[in-house]
Each structure stands twice: as structure tokens, then as C-alpha cells.
Structure 1
């Protein structure tokens, strides 16, 4: 290869320095011009003219140096072309602006100057993407990192104690995944199909082994002789250090790359599916472990095997009060009344817990009002927000409420979502966003993404833009599935750029059946629904039982619940629950009954200090995870214990059919529009699917509970009613404790409370006491 003359390289690398002249000067010229539009400043005219001349000249120099840079350095790809032509257009516009200024045509001059600054901005934008990566702007936008494709933090790979010992197959697969993740997030921006600096690509095995223009970058078995390792170890600022931009690799990441090379740089030689864990699609019914004298229920028998394997001892079941409150909140989302607590504690029947669960599950209206929250989140159903004003979105509230109230079998529930009636069509129709959108945001792709995520525990979002590098799914798969929902054939877009290739039509899992390619949309959706709900689609039912388990136990058998290809902590338990769910007629309440009456559910709750502990590969199940009340549970608990938080005039509640409103004792939080109070406590905006909420307290929540108008006004209103109803301090305190915490106050608590509200209770004192009780962990947590 002919060596480039050093001067051209040097001048080319001055391009970023020179280019800031037109960026700054032309923008300042426009600003000064705007200041003079209404009130002319003659003294500014000569300065503006000078800025335009200097800006135009420097834009010419910047273009020349930029052309030198792109021709002598390793820059290529569509972004480079866009940046180059935007820069040339800016240069032309700046020269035209000078010419128009000399003609004296003020309107034309100002328009030309505005276009020049727009050109500078566009060229600068593409320059920033080249310098800092294509996600330079998008990576900091809200929600961009909320649902990552995988955990790309520090490596989870455990190095073998003996480097000479061969790795097992699972270890090789994990090592491959970790290395691919490091390369993808640190190297692909410059060394992949979209941009290939130094003729080096690291996204395919044969190209990685081939190396770049300077030869191989790794020597298998010899990390110390590998150029790749030398480059990533160079100090920041060194001209040969890699990556050239962004954060450097951590010591653990470098060590992992060295270990990988020392092991021979293993890479799958066949289809790349072999490096990813892919959960089985078909159902599986494992044999029930043997029962014991104390453990006869199937769930407990599987958990007992798990406990024995992990050397965990069974703990005594929680007391009646704890179990009663736990089940009430999980099934109907309400606090039990003092009378119910007293009666349950006094009940001597040996099966009283089973009878309690049956009773709560038969409270169909309360059940529907509570579980509406879970399904609203998952099905992105809401009562206001983006799309409703323009008719680009429709809700499914009445259909969903009726489905929950009647305990519609889950297979029919899914059928009516995918092959919808008018009342249930809002889910797959998605949101018609106004203005220009990414191709991955079109309604057909939303349908494909949402059906995959909610019903199959599968993240298709990244594959909607490009081939996924941490799963098997390809861009072609995503478009073929989205095309099932489309009225016309979709053109495949790669990273939002049209490819000219038209998508096929097929279901994600071909084992389930073939879609009639040329059939009308309604017929295709009926076929898709039938294929997905058939019993042999074990993934559909594993995903559902895992979600229900996570809601009741605080953590799924598989986590995250949207990544069903991850390993469960008990494969047998997950498979048995899914198979039994189908055998029991797809009955969600029967599934809940089995979980709620198990000895496993009745174990003492387990606290975690950090949410990350629940996602760690080392997680060990020991019982229900202690968790905070959801926004809706907390609001309803305040309504039951103190005073209704929402009035009968709550907008959505008031618009519900009379038949539904008659079933609601007070406006439940699940039936009202989102507001700052519910947002602060964790209710999502539901423009996208949300299948889990954080249970961790945060600053916004603390501020809302301390100074929020809705919460404090409700407590004040309640305090006025409490004062009128209970004039003596002791009686008032005892009633509040019984309603809020389900018990009498301890002597010390009673003394403190009476001192707080005074011998003759004041509204302010009662309000302060109610506030303190509402913030008490015993009120806010499900133990």
C-alpha cells in the first residue's frame, strides 16, 4: 500500500478544528441579524458582514480539509457521505448568502442566512455521529435505555481456575456471548458492515480472523502477541489506542478478551444460534417429585427439590394477619377490614386459608378492578395521552374489564387481542404517531414487537432495526412477522434506511404453522391467533405463568420476565405450571389459587437491598420478595384506611358505563387518569409496553408524599371527618391503627399518637398522624 504524504494527513486532521469557524461565526451572524430585525442596529452591520466573510472562507477551507481527510484516512459509509455533502451544501449556501447580501434584497438574504445555519447544524450533526457514534443523541433520550436487550455491564463469565483445562460447552457459549457483547458495544461503530476503518471488521468470524489492512489483529492462543490486546491496553490519548472514542474497556473486559484468545478465540463455526440459550417451544410435563408428610401440593414438591439441592431449610409459614393482608392486596388490591381480620384470626378451620383465597377470587368486580392495572401496563392501555386527541389510538378498557371480571380463558383472551373485535383492537393497532417516525415505530411493527414481548417473552425491538447481535432474531424475521399485521407488503428498512427488499409473511416460530401469505389481513390474524394459542405453543403459557408468579412472588421464575430464553431457577416448576395451566382450561384464577395456597407462597418474605440482586445469575429463591405497594395499591389503601383519594367525579371513572360504576365502592386508582401523584409512585405513561415496575423508593416519591397536593388534601379531608366521628384521642388512634395496619397500637405507639393529636384532637394533628402511618413500612410494604 502506498504511504500517504504526511502533510495531507496533517492538513486533513485539521478539519475538525477549522470546521468550528463556520459553525460558530455563521450562527453568531444569524443571532445578531435577528436582534436587528425589529430595531435596526447600524453599528452591527459591519460586524455581521465580517462574520459572514470569515465564515464563508473558513467553510471553504473546512470542506477542502475534509475532502483530504476522507481520502487519506479510513472513513467510509453512508454517514460520511451525508456529512460530506451537507458540508459542501453549507459552503455553497454561505457563498450565496454573501452574494445576496450585496444585492440588497433583505428578505432573500435573511432566508439564505437561515438556510446556511441549518446546513451548518445538519453537517455538524452528522459529524457528531461520526465522531461519537450513531447513538450519540438518542442514547440520552428518556426510555432509550429502559429496556436493554441484554445486561452489558461487567462480565458475568467465571474464569476457569486452571487456564489449561478445556472449557465446558456452556462455558464456551457464555464466553462467546460476553466477547460478542464487548466487541459490539465498543468496536462495531468503526469496525462493522456500516463502517470499516482500516479494512477491519469484527462482527464476523472469518473477517475478524482475517484482520485489517495491517494484517491479523489476534494470534490464537497468544494474547500477548495480538494487536487487538495491545491496542485496547494503550493509555487513553495514545494515537493507536482503541476504542478511539467513548469509554475505555475495563480491566475485566480486557482480561476476558485475553482469556478468550488464550482459549483459541472460540467462535461458533455453524449457525450462530449455538451461542445463545433458546428456550424450548414445545410443552413439557415433568414428573411430580414425591410428596412428604408436610408437603403434598405440587408447587411445594418442586420447590422442596430445589431447596434440597441448594441446602435451604423450610421456614415456618407466616401468621394469619400477615397472610390475610398479603392475599387481599395480591388478589383484590385492597386492605382487609378490621372486622375481617378479627374473624379470620378467630377462625379455627384447618382449611381457612384455602377458603379465604376462594372467597377473594370470587369477588369478581374487585378482582377485575385490581388486575386491570397489571394488564393496562402490559397491553399499553390507558385513558389519555399520545394518540387519543387525533384518533390515532383506541383503548380496550371495557373489553379488558369484562374479560377479567368473567375470568375469560387465557387462550380466548389472547385470540381476541390478536384477531380482535372492535372493542379489543387497540392493542395491536398501537399508536399512530404524528409527524415523521422511524420505520420501527410504524403500527405493524408495534404490533409485532408488543405481541412478541407480552405474549411470548421475546424482545424483537432491536431486530426491528438490524440483525440482533445477542439473539437469533434477524431483521428479516421481524419484518416478516410485522407483515402479518400489515394491509400491504412492507419494505424492509435497515437502521431506518430502505433496502428495496420486500418482507415475507410468517410467524416467528415456524413449528407452529404457516401463515396464508396472500389472505386478507383479518384471515391472517385469525390464523396467527389459532397458531399461537394451540397447546403445543408451550412458550405462550410459560410466559403467562411466569408473569403471574412474578406478580405474586415479587420475582419471576425467569427474569427478566420479558426474556423467556433466560434460564429459570426451576425449569421443572415452570414447565409443570404451564402444562397444568393448559390442562385446567387456561384458567388464570385456578393458577393463582394453586400459587396462593402453596406453602411456598406462605413463607416469610425476603428483603433485598438492591434491585440488581433479583436479576443476578447467582439468585437463589427462598420465598416471596418483600415489595412496596404499587401506586394504585397505595392510593386504594389510603382510600380504605383514611379517606377516598379520588372523588366520584374522577373523569375516567365517571365516563365508565353505569354497570361498572355500580360495582366500584369508590373510584379505584386503576380506573382514573394518570396524574402527578400516581406518576411519582411509579405508574408508567403506557405509550409502550410495561411489564414490571420498580419496588424501590425514590426521591420523586418522597417529595410527592411529603408535599403533594392531592395526597395531603385527601388526608386533611379525612382528618376533618375523623375528628367529627371520634372526639376522643384514644378511640381515634385505635381505629386508625386497625384500619391502616390491621392491629391495635402498642402502648408506646398509643402514647406518641395521643401526644401528636392532642387530648382534644385537632385536624392538623390527625392529618399528621395519618401521614406518618401512611409512610410507615408496615403500611407501604407487602410482607
Structure 2
């Protein structure tokens, strides 16, 4: 934690430090402009127009300079962490909004201008809040609230630190040491860790912290008041010697923990317990509770135990219309036909939901066409993009489609990805980037990172450059695993600098087996595939069932889904699903069937107030999380409901097996090349692995759905077809609602639709009605 001189050119440092000054211009001027706009909201005069115009343009201009100077300030390395990134992008978004508001004002688009002015002021407020957090700490505002003060007091009171004045036992020493190293890891390792040791000070080892740095010792055992580390972390944020310099400051409690630790002799056990949770590798089949009431299926019985423990109760399952739409979209990605909905609703059979799930899973081509998008994201397979033109990338589309179509057992699916044929080799071959690249992006390192992330739910990306800050994985581990995929052994590069060391070959989990360095790459890959798919590799199968659960339920049992060492909300449910999956022959469709026929899946959907709540440690499961249709689902829904010629079928002809494209009523969106419309709806760039998509609406999506040319033209073409088929308004409205929403319109909806259409429907009126239906939550969400 010793301060060093910054090597950045002085002028950039000077301009960067003008950022706080400049950022107050848009805050002040734009807020004043909004106040004047509100005052003159219904005014007909132009008395305030000139003044508002000046404020808007100066505010927008200063927002641009604030972003530029803020970027310079951030590059000096004085700040870091998630708060910086949120502040950075919130500031950029605010700048864009302010410029749009200014131009809208200039063009006299009054409604557009006022809307963007409101958004700009909100953006300034939001960005400013995170700026204050960077300067004063994450709890700058919340720390003064009574609730925060009570929580701090309560936390301190129950901690054994406050209650123990005598000698510590071995367990207490271990717990205290883990807590101290957690504080140091989260706040100090960026500057004083394995990869970077400012002031020759390392805080990630016993030897390093006891030795101190260039300025000498930082710890005086038994005397926190004489210890330099305590002095530095206790200084005000504005003091040039205050530590840490990046992101938030240590909390009062964290400082007390460090003081207590030093007071007790700064004990650092030789046999260290990891500060990070490591999930068990081996499988476990938990005991399923006995049936109770109408609950008989294992998923429901395990969830019932969870509900009892958390004092939650079961809600009635969703109605038939909700279920059929949900299960259609989840299994084959399409809206159910109106006649199928009515038939299902009137079907009296008690097992009709199980029969429907089987029927949909037996539609092999529809199933494969839908789940292609899920696996394309995870296996970073796409139809265009970086690498294809230069031959530095290979697609696996036909292999993947056929594997899904025939429901290839997952263990063979994995084996063919890791020990591949020519058709399936694109996944581990990665992207051969043009020009000079970072050592951590060599194709062998990409293979190690992608296999570990997708199949094992662990992050090797940090450990591909230096020892990880978020896990116990070391740089040597990443290189040893990458060498399994390499034709020649790789020299270890730390932060892109050669170390002169050569790693051998090693499994990430040696318990699964050892791979000899003295054999061909092909044999090593075959051996790796055999080791990974063993039934005793519980992690492989937990990762898969967790991904499928997240896809169907809106949230994984473990979140994020790529961090399988995190605590699941139900360990028994995760372990049972994985063990049952193996016992049922690694059958993906049986896994999906087991989930979608459970009462748990059929519970009413729930929502979260904030996007971040879904990842919160205190998350409580209550049912499926309501989610937005994916880009492909939404596009296919438009095709089904309004216009069945949305996509370019010529693309599909090249991708699907011979003759398959002839069976398609329209080109499924999962098989078309990415375009601005799909991007706006959340389809990712597949140059890297993507295992989750945000379900939150955003500004880009709103703009594309209101002004996008492709969407507009699609509805325009569809309106002509509907007008030719339904010459009267009432018939058209009824048919349109059944086709798009799976139900007849309500009387008030018919009345509104008739006002839009008139007595004789026009192309423009039908187009407006389609657009209105496509934007309602009932169409866009899976309930």
C-alpha cells in the first residue's frame, strides 16, 4: 500500500483532474434547463427558449469534455473496480443523451427533446452518484442512514472479535486469518499481489506482509497503533498517503479486524485455508423427502423442503394458457398456434401437461432449431464474424444441429467437442486473431479458458495472465491445462511478459486423472475427454443442469452460472438433478422434461425490482423469474404472428442439412447472420463465450422497435397479407390477438383496435395495431 509516482504524462494528469470541475457544468446547467422547461411546460411564449437553448448546448458540450477528461483521469490508475465501470459508461450514456436532446431542441422536436432531457438529468444524477462512491466510498450516502448504523453496530456486537479478549483457539485463528486475507484480497492485491508489487510490497503471502516494502515494515505485532498499514488505511481519502488508492476505502469494521489481528500477533498459519469456496468435485445423490400431499416428484419434494426452511408457501400452478405458451417457447422457441391453445385448454386429461411436453420434445427439428441459439452462445459458434474470412476460425453448425436433432447423450457431446472430428473442432480451435495478440489469447489458452468456463463453470481468464484475484487458480495451472491442447509446450507469460518457465501438462482437477506430456496432442485430447466425462466428475454435470435450469427458470441454482463454486440456493436440488441426469443416460431431453413437468416450473413467475437482485446472495427462490423473449424468440414470434417471411431463407439453406430447409414455414432467427435488429434485442457477439443474456430492456432496443427499418418493413409487409385475408376490423382483431397472444381480445381491446383500424382496415392501421401488440409485456415476456 505504498504510494509511487505516477508515470502518466503530466498534461494528461492535469486535464484528467479537471474532470470533477467540468462534470458540474452538465449537472448544474442541464438541471436548470429542466427546471425552466417544467416552468414553461404549457407556456406558449418563447421567453425562455433562448436561455434554455444556451444551457442545453453548453451542458451537452461540457458533458463531452467531462467524458474525455474523465477517461484520462481513470487511465492514471487511481480508481478501479465495478463502480468505475458503471460511472464511466453511465457518463458516456449521459453524454449521448444530452447531445441527442440538444439536436432535438435545434430541430424543434419538442416531445423528443423533453424526453431526452429528462433521461439526461436522470443519467447525470446516476453517474454522479457512482462518481461520489468512487471518491468517498461505496457507502457514502447509505452509511449515514439509521439502518446502516444499526447494521454496523449489530455486526460488530455479534462478531467474536468483539466478544473475545483472551487467547484464540485454532479455529478462531483460522477464521480470523481467512477474514484478514479476504479484506486484503478484495482491496489490496491489485497493487500488492502476485502480478504487481508497488513499493516492493506484497500482501498475498506470509513472507511478503511480514517483510514489508521499500519503506520498511508495515506491521508491529501486538501494536496496531504503531503499524504503518493501520495508519495508511485510517487516513482520510484526500490524504496522498491514504490506502487503498483505488475504488472504495476500507470500512470501519474492516479496519477493526486488521487492528484486532495485529493485536493478537498477526498470526498467519503455515497451512492456509482457502479464502474462496471450492465446490465438491464428486457427485452426490441426496435423499429425496417422502411424498406429501400432491407433491410426488423429486424436484418438488426438494423444493418443498426449501420452502419450509424459508417459511414460504406453494402458490397455485399457472393456468393452461400460460403453461402452453411458456412450455412452447422454452422447448421449441415458438408461439403455440391458436387452435392448439384452445384444444389444450379444453382437454380434460389430468396428464395433458406431461403429454404436451413429450410431444414438443419429440419435434426434433423444432427443438434443435430453438436450442441452437443457447449452444451457439456457449460454444461461441456463429455464421459470420472475425476469423472466417482469414481462415482463423471454424464453425460447428452442422455438427451442433445434428447433435441436438438426434439428442446426442451429453457425455458424447462433450467428448466430440474436446476430442473433435473436423466438423466439431471449431470450439477448441478458438479464433486465430490477426496480428500481435496478448499471450492469454493464444488459441491453446482460448481452449483452456472456454472448456473450463463452459463445461466446468470456472474462470481461467484472470489466471491466464496472472494468479487469479477471484479464485485460487494460479497462472501455472492455466498454462499446464492449456498445454494439453498445444502442439508444443508454452512458455509462461505473466501479464504478457515471458518468465522463462515452461509448464508441463496437468488437469485442473488431478483427481480425475493424469495426462502424460509424452504423447501426441490427439491422444492427450482423447484422454482429457475420457477423464472429464467420467460419472465421478460431478462438476461437469452440475454445471450443465444448472445452465439448463437457468435457461428454463430465469435464474440458475448457482449464479452466475459460470461460477460453480458459489453457494447454490439448494445444494440438494443441484446434486439431485446432476445425479439423476447421469443415471438417465446423460439425456438432455429427459432433463428438460423432468423440469418442465414439475410443479416448481409451473409456479407463477416472479419479478425482481432491480436487475442486480437476481444475483444477490440473499436471493430466495419462489418460482420462475419472469423474463423477456430472447432476440431469436421475439423475431420468430413476429414471424409466427404477423409475417412468416421475416428472415432470409437463403442463409438457412446453407446452414441446415440437405433438404431440411424445405420443411421450414419460415427461416428461424437462430440461423440467420447477426444484424442490428438482433443485436439490439440482445443477441451477443460470439467471438467470446456468452452463457447468459440480460433480460432487461434498454434504450437501443426501444429505438429499434420504434424506429428500426427492418422491424417497420416486416410489419408493413405483414399488414398487406392480413388486410387481404381479413377485410373487416372485428374478424381481423380477433384473429390477430389469438395468433399473437393466444387469446381472444377483451371488449375494451376491440374498441381501441377499431379506433386504430377504422371501419375499413388500412395497411397503415393494421401495421400500427401489430406494432402496439408487439410492444405489450404480454407479447414480449414469458410469464
TM-score, L = length of structure 2:
0.78
Q: CA deviation at 1:238?
A: 2.6
Instruction: Tell me the residue number matched to 1:63.
Output: none
How many aligned positions are there? Answer: 658
Q: Residues of 2 paired with 1:127 and 1:756: CA distance?
A: 53
Kept after mapping to 2: 8 A contact 1:268/1:275: no
For residues 115-514 of structure 1, the aligned pairs below 5 Å read 159-162=155-158, 163-165=161-163, 180=181, 183-184=184-185, 186-188=187-189, 190-192=191-193, 196-218=197-219, 226-243=227-244, 245-249=245-249, 252=251, 254-263=252-261, 264=264, 269-272=269-272, 274-514=274-514
Whole-angstrom distance in 2 between the partners of 1:205 and 1:494:
22
Residues 335, 210 of structure 1: CA spacing in aligned structure 2 closer, same or farther, 3 A cutoff?
same
Matches within 5 A, 1:475-624: 475-624=475-624
Q: Is the aligned partner of 1:750 residue 2:746?
A: no
Contact 1:181/1:470 (<8 A) preserved: no
TM-aligned CA deviation for residue 221 of structure 1: 7.2
Residue ranges of structure 1 left out of the alignment (5+ in a row): 1-8, 24-124, 143-151
Change in Cα spacing, 1:363 to 1:709, as seen in structure 2 (3 Å) is same
Q: Distance in 1 between matches of 2:6 and 2:507?
A: 53
1-structure distance, mates of 2:6, 2:717: 69
Cross-structure match for 1:57 = none
The whole-number CA distance in structure 1 between the counterparts of 2:410 and 2:594 is 16
Q: SS of 2:659's equivalent?
A: helix
CA contact under 8 A between 2:192 and 2:203: conserved in structure 1?
A: yes
Contact 1:560–1:615 (Cα < 8 Å) also in 2: yes
- Are the structure 2 counterparts of residues 376 and 15 from structure 1 closer, same or farther at C-alpha, using a change threshold of 3 Å? closer
What SS does the aligned partner of 2:519 have? Answer: coil
Instruction: Give a deviation string over 1:697-733, Cα, whole Å, max 9, x none.
Output: 0000000001111111000100111111101000000
Work out the CA distance in 2 between the residues paired with 1:208 and 1:499.
Answer: 24
1:646 partner SS: coil
Q: Does the aligned pair in 2 maintain the 1:737–1:745 contact within 8 Å?
A: yes
Deviations 1:177-218 (A, max 9, x none): 775565456544543455545543322233223434555434
Find the aligned partners of 1:126 and 1:711 in 2 and give their Cα distance.
39
SS of the residue 2:663 aligns to: coil
Alignment correspondent of 2:675: 675
How far has the Cα of 1:564 moved from its partner? 0.5
For residues 140-182 of structure 1, what are the alpha-carbon distances to aligned partners after superposition, in whole Å with 9 as ceiling and x for unaligned? Answer: 999xxxxxxxxx9969999353342369999998876775565
CA deviation vs aligned residue, 1:312-356 (integer Å, no higher than 9, x gap): 000001000000000000000000011000000000001000000
Give yes or no for contact 1:134–1:189 (8 Å, CA) kept in 2: no
Q: Whole-Å Cα distance in 2 between the matches of residues 278 and 307 of structure 1?
A: 26
| Deviates most, 159-168 or 643-652 | 159-168
> Judging changes above 3 Å, is the alpha-carbon distance between structure 1 residues 631 and 169 closer, same or farther for their aligned structure 2 residues?
farther
Q: Return closer, same or farther for 1:437/1:231 CA change in 2, 3 Å cut-off.
A: same
Identify if the C-alpha distance between structure 1 residues 574 and 239 changes in structure 2 by more than 3 Å, giving closer, same or farther: closer
CA contact (8 A) 2:490 2:503 kept: yes
Three-state SS of the structure 2 residue aligned to 1:658 is coil
Residue pair 1:268, 1:274 contacting (<8 A) in 2 also: no
RMSD: 3.3
Instruction: Tell whether the 8 Å contact from 1:684 to 1:690 is kept in structure 2 after alignment.
Output: yes
User: 1:357/1:222 Cα in 2 relative to 1: closer, same or farther (>3 Å)?
Assistant: farther
Partner of 2:19: none
Single out whichever of 345-354 and 216-225 deviates more from structure 2: 216-225
SS of alignment partner, residue 416 of structure 1: helix
Contact 1:645 1:710 in 2 (8 A): no
| Matches of 2:289 and 2:271, distance apart in 1 | 37
Gaps of 5+ in 2: 16-70, 90-133, 140-150
- Deviation track 1:587-635 (CA, whole Å, cap 9, x = no partner) reads 0100111100001001000111212111111011110000000000000
Once the two structures are superposed, residues 495-530 of structure 1 have per-residue CA deviations (whole angstroms, 9 ceiling, x without a partner) of 111111111012111111111211111111110000
Q: Distance in 2 between matches of 1:418 and 1:306?
A: 37
Q: Equivalent residue for 2:634?
A: 634
Compared CA separation, residues 172 and 661, structure 1 to 2 (3 A): farther
The answer for the alignment partner of 1:712 in structure 2 is 712
CA positional deviation for 1:479: 0.5
- Native 8 Å contact 1:223 1:258 kept in 2: no
> How far did residue 261 of structure 1 move?
3.2
Is the Cα contact below 8 Å between 2:182 and 2:275 reproduced in 1? no
